Amino acid sequence: MESNKRPEEMVRITTKELADKFIAEQIDAVKKQVGDKKVLLALSGGVDSSVVAALLIKAIGRNLVCVHVNHGLLRKGEPEQVVEVFKNQMNANLVYVDAVDRFLDKLAGVAEPEKKRKIIGAEFIRVFEEEARKQDGIEFLAQGTIYPDILESGPVKAHHNVGGLPEDLKFELVEPLKFLFKDEVRVVGKALGLPDNMVYRQPFPGPGLGVRCLGAITRDRLECVRESDAILREEFAKNGLEGKVWQYFTVVPDFKSVGVKGGLRTFEYPVIIRAVNTLDAMTATVEDVPFALLQHITDRITREVKGVNRVLYDLTPKPCGTIEWE
């Protein structure tokens, strides 16, 4: 059985030269492993699956079949970027699945966080399985497993595998990043020519915006999460906080409050901003965001996001709050 321990002699990949060497070695290894057979990959657009995709496209071209499932819980612009980078720029064999209605219909009325997670996970496997069955001659499954997933350190819940596929779809695994730490994956991704906003992306939970649209997900509140998150990310990038703050996002609870806009009484949702720093996600501190910037973001969100009349900043460290709200 293949070892799951990082070889002791393996040098830490910190430079483009070391990344190029790693890429060349992995291209050889993948070619040797899969020959002229087809490989399937669930491509979310997150750092790890994107780096695996770019590497495998270099190794086997269109024999890599990438499946991008848009479950409606991705951040603004992400599905479009996956199509642009992989299909248009890298000529990937990419299957784009619009499963938005399917996921949101399944999640309708479900308020319990773990139940929501289970539905999202199970539905993802189902959609992926259906796409896998449509493909002929697949013998391998590529996954963006990285070394911390194997070590299972910390509470960062990995979402890198599509374990749970039925017996007859148990393909041989291709896991070229399995001995890399996250910082090394980013160096490799950069060397492969992936855009910075893909390579240096902040952590994003597998169930996506689904755990930030609190309680039972509704389309209107989901749009509030997506649009407010896009404004927050834009303002953090403009103000030098992108790449400095470990994780930042917005949350929309499932209650409304009274407000006033243009002299008229409103009854709309609040948006909660969360911005934290951590080393391992076990504990986290709150970023000291300049007050003027918080005011500016509040102004933009309340003016630009339909259905929102209030913005709050979450000052709670972990513990006693977790990073996500659900």
Which residues contact ligand XMP (rule: CB under 6 A)?
117, 155-157, 159, 203, 205-207, 247, 281, 318, 322-324
d(CA 66, CA 105): 25
d(CA 118, CA 42): 18
Q: Report, in Å, the least distance between residue 182 CB and ligand XMP.
A: 12
CB of 69 to ligand XMP, least distance (A): 15
Q: Least Å distance between CB 186 and ligand XMP?
A: 16
Write 161-165 long-range contacts (CB < 8 A, 24+).
162/42, 162/124, 162/125, 162/128, 164/121, 164/122, 164/125, 165/125, 165/128, 165/129, 165/132, 165/141
Match 């990038």 to its residue by tokens: 237
Please name which of 132, 121, 74 lies closest in space to residue 98, comparing C-alpha atoms.
74
Q: Which is nearer to ligand XMP, 79 or 207 (CB)?
A: 207
- Residue whose CB is less far from ligand XMP, 259 or 321: 321
Helix pair 182-191, 47-60: axis angle to 10 deg: 40
Q: How far is the CB of 89 from ligand XMP (least distance, A)?
A: 27
| Residue among 68 and 116 whose Cβ is closer to ligand XMP | 116
Which residue number, 138 or 245, has a Cβ lying nearer to ligand XMP? 245
Q: Are 67 and 40 in contact (CB under 8 A)?
A: yes
| Smallest separation (angstroms) from ligand XMP to the CB of 19 | 25
Which CB atom, from 140 or from 248, has the smaller least distance to ligand XMP? 248
H-helix or E-strand spanning residue 130? helix 113-134
The answer to whether 226 and 249 have CB atoms below 8 angstroms apart is no
Between CA 162 and CA 129 the distance in angstroms is: 9
Instruction: In angstroms, give the least distance from the CB of 117 to ligand XMP.
Output: 5
Minimum CB distance to ligand XMP smaller for 66 or for 323: 323
- Judge contact between 278 and 318, C-beta under 8 A: yes
